[in-house]
Every structure is written in structure tokens, then in C-alpha cells.
Amino acid sequence: MPTMTMLQALNSALADKLADDPDVLIFGQDVGYFGGVFRVTDGLQSRFGLERCFDAPISEGGIIAAAIGMGAYGLRPVPEIQFADYILPAFDQLVSEAARLRYRSAGEFWAPLTVRSPYGGGIFGGQTHSQSPEAIFAHITGLKTVIPSTPYDAKGLLISAIEDDDPVIFLEPKRLYNGPFDGRHDRPVPTWQGNPAAEVPEGLYRIPLGTAACVREGEAATILAYGTMVHVALAAIEESGIDAELVDLRSIVPLDIDTIVASVKKTGRCVILHEASRFGGFGGELSALVQERCFYHLEAPIERVCGWDTPYPHAFEWDYFPGPDRLIKALRRVTGTD
Amino acid sequence: MSILSNSEALRLHIPTPVARPGEIPSFSHLRFSEAGEITKPSIDAEEPGLRHLPYGLIRIMDDQNAAVGPWNPHLDNETLIAGLTAMMRTRAFDDRLFRAHRQGKTSFYMKCTGEEAIAVAQSMVLGADDMCFPTYRMLGWLMARRYPLDKLVNQIFSNAADPLRGRQLPILYSARDYGFYSLSGNVGSRFGHAVGWAMASAYRRGKAIALGMIGEGTTAEGDFHEALTFAAVYRAPVILCVTNNQWAISSFSGIAGAETTTFAAKALAYGIPGLRVDGNDFLAVWAATAWAAERARHNCGPTLIELFTYRTEGHSTSDDPTRYRPVEEASLWPLGDPVDRLTQHLYATGAWDTEKHRTLSEAIDIEVRAAIKAGEAVGTLGTSKPPVSEMFEGVFKEPDWRVIEQRRELGV
């Protein structure tokens, strides 16, 4: 089986869907001839033709509006927003239109678009190339939000997202495009080569939206994470020796509540990890759900390890980024081993 | 002292309308072309040769109620009478349902009085497979296509038979089978959907085209400019229309930029044709829409049309226009009333008479009253509604556990 980076796996998913379904088309800033600033759509225009993968004006609102109209017609558009930080001009389209169209029209119209967008930090991108906006989408009734952490998951989840009849925000952890970055920025960066999760089949396969993955079984505590933070958690577990269970949510809407609850009931302790700033972040919702459903199994307060409540800073990237050291401290607190 | 220095203090310009309540309304600042004056270019005319069009006004019915000039679509009597019927049905329905709101039968209503020619003519010009992305003053589109009146009433009353299952504000219809896209209370946010839909039709090598509508006030939104950019860049088979009814709630068109240019002229910067049309002239709306539709169908790209009209009534049942504009303004609108003008045109050609008009008017009144009665029999707001379980349907194609749990919690 070939080994792919996450970039290659995403490219493979798009190519397979373009070949599979003539109603799938891709457009966005720089995605056509050039193949995207991160190269996710590399070669797709030359393989599938101008109309299947083309450049769009610098107009996020216009891109999403056009995609919704295409979806209402019957296509399955896969627009790219170049950075998740730039998705906000399209926020009205996503919230007021894509998310509401099926409901308000009593099922006459719907918008089966998949909005791909690189998100997250760790690339010294400063506050306009590093943010994690998943919580603001999770809050919007009618949108699905998916975040892969491995090449294998990226391809299977993206294919499921494109085939889904509801609008999906597909956030790609850009720091994982070329390797499983674990937050140890001062060490050599690993590549996907040789990583079992980078064995990606050619051809279509699907990972259902709303199914979390138990990446590592353990007894001492449950770590809930997604995206880049899954690899941060693996590093923290390895370095600390704490026998934590790691649940990769993979999609935050729909959320695999059963897997979360089963894990926390088993371990009795829970640490929630995300890159986005803490206040009002998705960790708050996770914390509430765990408390509501696992209260009598909890043996320690739920901990959240997140980005600080500041804009994403440039020079202070590694002071902001919730790396393994902060997670290890939290794990020690919840397990009473600090 | 340099001539470049400021010789006086800077001034901030805040546009104000000619007249406010208690003042004498005037439209003398408006310049209209004569009926028949504007030449009609071929649909494949080069855009640079069309740049005068946004500053004229395409009119066909003259002061003697005759149809004149190169844009005259030469419609047969049957078509004209069908158009008049749909316009009259729209107005009668609006009047009755506005009253139903005052009687507490619904929470909200919006009339399109004075703008009926636009939706009706466009609905008749475009085909069954084309898609209209409407504003909330496009009831005439549905009337021209004989959408069942009782279904409209049920939607407005949000009763158990509401086709939108109690989820949507009154009059924000959706009628896919009638080529009428789902409305929303956010103005302008579907303008770009019309472009995307048209791009999809071209992508599929289809035949259908799209019609996008927006109000003059909403041209200030980014949605308007984004849609025009996409339409122009991809030469989408779409007709984009600005209904300039002079008022955006209480803000006159000058607040949206009408003091210095026309809305049709916004087309110039996008390199597409811009037509400015008398929106109260059924024939002119017909002809301009047909021209733009032919362009779209022949891969000549999009057209922007400004439909120049006047919002005769308030913005909605929640509005009182006497608070911000002279009461007499509507009756002094220099381009008249669209229903009256088409009626007078039919009188002038001999195809219609007062007896036929009265008979039609009475038949429509009976039809509208019967529809309201049928809706009332199902129930009005608060006395009847779809099952509460409908609240939880349609969030996603398949409900997720949140919706299932919450529905159970509510006990429905």
C-alpha cells in the first residue's frame, strides 16, 4: 500500500471523487493551474479539465454563495478557502444560507457543499494564518465540521464529506500536511513515511462522519483531541508514561458522543485538548457533555488544555501553542500524580 | 499659499430626500427617456457599444397608452390579459392578507403593491426550468404560474397545512416546482446563489438560466458586488436585477448611492450590459427580461437590469411610511401604476373593456376570499400549527443525536 502525506491523501481523495462523480467540481483561490498554495489540488486541473478545478476571485463570500447555488442546482461543489482565517467574509453565507436552506425550504433545496480550509498553527503564520475557528461552526445548527489527523483519515473523511448531502466544513490541520507534528518544535520534524496511518489506499473508501477513533487505549485518563493535537497527545503520553486513553474526535459535528462517554466512564478522568483559544471554545461544550453524562464516574475535575485567550501571536508561537508539556502537567493533575 | 491647500473646512455629505412628511413631494429631479426612445441592440452586441443604456430608461407604453418603439414585444391579447390577471390577483391577495394581519391571523406580511409588473412579466418570460432567486416582493411570479392560493395562505397563517412546516416567517416562500428559490429574511444573500446556479447549468451543458433579484438598498452589500464579479468573470447565464423602488424601509435611494449614478450603471465596471427599465411598464419589463434571457441562453453572459419603480406601501406590516415620507408621494409617482397602465393599454387597443375588467376583478376577489376561507378552516396563527416534531426535522438530512434527544426531551 502506498504511503502518502496528508497533502497527497487529500489530493487523492479529490482526484478519486472527480473521477467518480461528474457533479463534483473544485474552485477557490489559486487552486487551478497552480494547484493551491499548499498544493492540495496539484495536477487536478490538468488531469480533469478547466471546468472541474478552477481559480476563483478573492471573494470568500462570493465563492461560498456560488457553491451554494451550484449545490441547490444539484452539483457537489468542493470550494477551498485558502486559510480558515479568511473564511469570515463567507460567514453569512455559511450560517444564514448553507446551514439553513434545507430547514427553511422544508427540504425543497439543500446545499451539499464541502468547504475545505487549512487551519491551525505551528507554521509561524501569525494571527492571520494560524487560527482554529471550529467552535464557531460547531455552534451553527445545520453545519457539519470535520477535522482529520492522519492521511488515511483525511482521505476517507473527505470522501464522506463530499458525498454528504449537508454542508460540511472540512478543516485541514496544515501543520500535519507533511508530517505528524507533535508540538516538539525544537526537535527534527517527523515525516509521514513509515507511519501506519499514512498507508492510504488508491481508490474510494469512506470513514463515516461522526465516528471518533480510539487512537490509544488506556486506563489512567481520557484525552479528547482532534487535528494536530492528536499527535501532541501521543507525544505527551509517551514522554510522561501516563497510561492515558486518546480519543480522536475526527468530526466535532456530528459528534461521536457514545465513544466519548464510554471512554470517560472507563477512566474517570478527562483532559480536553485543542489549539483554539479556551474561552467559548469547543472544549467548553465537550466539558459540559462529559459532566452531564459522566458526572458520577468522574474522579477529578475536567481539564482543558487550549490556546490562550489572546489573538494567535507571532513571536510567541510556542508560548501560545498547547504542546506536550502543558498536556503532561494537566494529565498529572487529573491523575493526582503532580 | 498653495492652491492645493484647503480653502475651507471639509464637509461631510449626508444625503436627504427631496421631501419629508408635511413637505411637498417632487420627482422633478428624475430624468426619463420618452417611450420608444431607447434603441434596442442585438443580443450579441459588444459591451462598449451599450454603455449609454444604464442612463436611459426603456419605456414602451406612451402617454396615449400605445406600445411604441423597438423594444415593443408585440404580445398577443391573450398573453397581456394573462399578465393583467396575475397582477390583479397579486394586488387583491396582498390587500386581503394585509388585512388578515391586522385581524391577528398572522404575525407578518409584506405587500408588493406598485411592483406587480416586474414579477409577473419575468415569470411569464422565463421558462419552467429556469430558476428565480426572488426578493420578498415577487409574489407575482407565483401568481403568474398559478401557485395554489390556499397554499400561500397556509404558509402565511403558519397553520397545520403550511408547506414550510411552520419553520419560516410568513411570505418567505419556497416553491421549487414553480422555479422559485427559497426566500430568506437576510436581504441580498441569495444574489450569488443565482450566479452559482447559472454556472452549474452551464457546467452541466443545460438550458436553464437563473434570475437573481435584489433591492436598490441592498446593492450596498458585498453580496451584490461579489455576485456581479462572479457573473462577469464566468459569463454565467444569469439575469441580475435591481428592483429600485426608491425606499429601503425609511432610507431613500440616495443612501444607496442614487444621487450620483444609476443602479444599472453599476454594470459598467463589471463589463456587462446594464439596462434601466420602467418597472411599472409591463411591456418594458417583459422586453428587457426577454433580451437578457436570450443573451444568457446564447452564452453571451449576464445582464444587469435596474427596474425603476416605486414602493407604494410600507416596507411591511411593521412599518409606517407616513413617519418618513409624504403621504401623497405614492400617488404622484410619475410612472404611474403598473396595473392601471396595462389596463389602459388594453382599453386603448380595444382588447379589454370596463365590463370585462369588473368581471375579472370580481372573480379574483371570490378566488382570494375562498383561499383565505380555506386557510382559516385549517387555522390561523396560534390556532393551528404543524406537529411540533416538525421543529426538529430538516436540520440535517438525517437527524443527529442532539436533535433526537431534544425531541424526546420535549416529548414530541
Does any CB of chain B come closer than 8 Å to the CB of residue A69?
A: yes
Q: What is the mean pLDDT of chain B?
A: 97
- Quick one: cell of B399? 437527524
Q: What is the pLDDT of residue B5?
A: 66
Cβ of A242 under 8 Å from any chain B Cβ?
no
> Is B205's Cβ below 8 Å from some Cβ in A?
no
Mean pLDDT of A313-337: 97
For residue A246, what are the β-bridge partners? A216, A223
Cα distance between residue B215 and residue B282, in whole Å:
19
Q: How confident is the model at residue A327 (pLDDT cuts 50, 70, 90)?
A: very high
A positions 194-233 inside 8 Å of B (CB):
210
- Written out in words, the top-level CATH class of the domain with range A6-198 is alpha beta
Best interface-test mutation with A: which of B176, B199, B392 has the largest number of A CBs within 10 A?
B199
The residue assigned the cell 450596498 is B220
Mean pLDDT of A48-52: 98
What residues of B are in contact with residue A105 (Cβ under 8 Å)?
164, 168, 174, 176, 182
Cα separation, B118 vs B277, whole angstroms: 10
What are the structural domains of chain B? Answer: 47-381 (3.40.50.970), 383-412 (no CATH)
Instruction: Work out the average pLDDT over A187-215.
Output: 96
Q: Report yes or no: B163 at the A interface, CB cutoff 8 Å.
A: yes
Q: Of B35, B195, B318, which is closest to residue A66 (Cα–Cα)?
A: B195
For A129-189, the three-class secondary structure string (H helix, E strand, C coil) is CCCCCHHHHHCCCCCEEECCCCHHHHHHHHHHHHHCCCCEEEEEEHHHCCCCCCCCCCCCC
Is any Cβ of chain B less than 8 angstroms from the Cβ of A102? yes
B200 contacts in chain A (CB < 8 Å): 69-70, 73-75
Distances (CA, A) of A220 to A246, A299, A338, B367: 11, 11, 14, 73
Please give the C-alpha separations between residue B75 and each of A92, A235, B312, in angstroms, as whole numbers: 42, 77, 27
B311 is known as an active-site residue: yes
Nearest CA to A212 out of A246, A249, A160 is that of A249
The percentage of residues in chain A with a pLDDT greater than 70, rounded to a whole number, is 100
Architecture of the domain delimited by A213-334:
3-Layer(aba) Sandwich (3.40)
Comparing A6-198 with A213-334, is the CATH topology the same?
Answer: yes
Task: Note whether B176 contacts A105, CB cutoff 8 Å.
Answer: yes
**B302 vs A contacts (CB less than 8 Å):** none
Q: Looking at the predicted structure, is the pLDDT value of residue A189 above 90?
A: no
User: Which stretches of chain B score pLDDT less than 70?
Assistant: 1-6
The grid coordinates of residue A134 equal: 471550529
| Contact state of B196 with A102 under an 8 Å Cβ cutoff | no
Options B59, B145, B276, B315, the catalytic residue: B315
Per-residue model confidence (pLDDT) at position B6: 64
**Rounded Cα–Cα distance for residues B299 and A270 (Å):** 60
**Angle CA A286–A287–A289, to nearest 5:** 65
The pLDDT mean for chain A works out to 97
pLDDT 10s digits, B213-270:
999 999 999 999 999 999 999 999 999 999 999 999 999 999 999 999 999 999 999 9
Per-residue pLDDT band at A2 (split at 50, 70, 90): confident
Q: What is the pLDDT of residue A1?
A: 82
Q: Say if A59 is an interface residue toward chain B (CB within 8 Å).
A: yes
Query: Kind of pairing, strands B251-252 and B247-248?
Result: antiparallel
Distance from CA of A245 to the nearest CA of B (A): 24
Q: Is the peptide bond before A254 cis (omega within 30 degrees of 0)?
A: yes
Tell me the per-residue pLDDT of B21-49, one tens digit each, with 9 for 90 and over: 999 999 999 989 999 999 999 999 999 99
Q: Which chain B positions have a beta carbon within 8 Å of A100's beta carbon?
A: 184
Which of A60, A96, A104 has the highest number of chain B CBs within 10 A, making it the mutation to test binding with B? A104
A54's enclosing H/E stretch is strand A53-55
Q: Has this prediction a pTM greater than 0.95? A: yes
Distance between CA atoms of residues A306 and A70, nearest Å: 37
**Cell for B58?**
426603456
- Shortest distance between the Cα of B151 and any Cα of chain A, in A, equals 14
Domain ranges of chain A: 6-198, 213-334
B/e letters for A9-34, b = 16+ CB within 10 Å, e = fewer, are bbbbbbbbbbeeeebbbbbbbbbbee
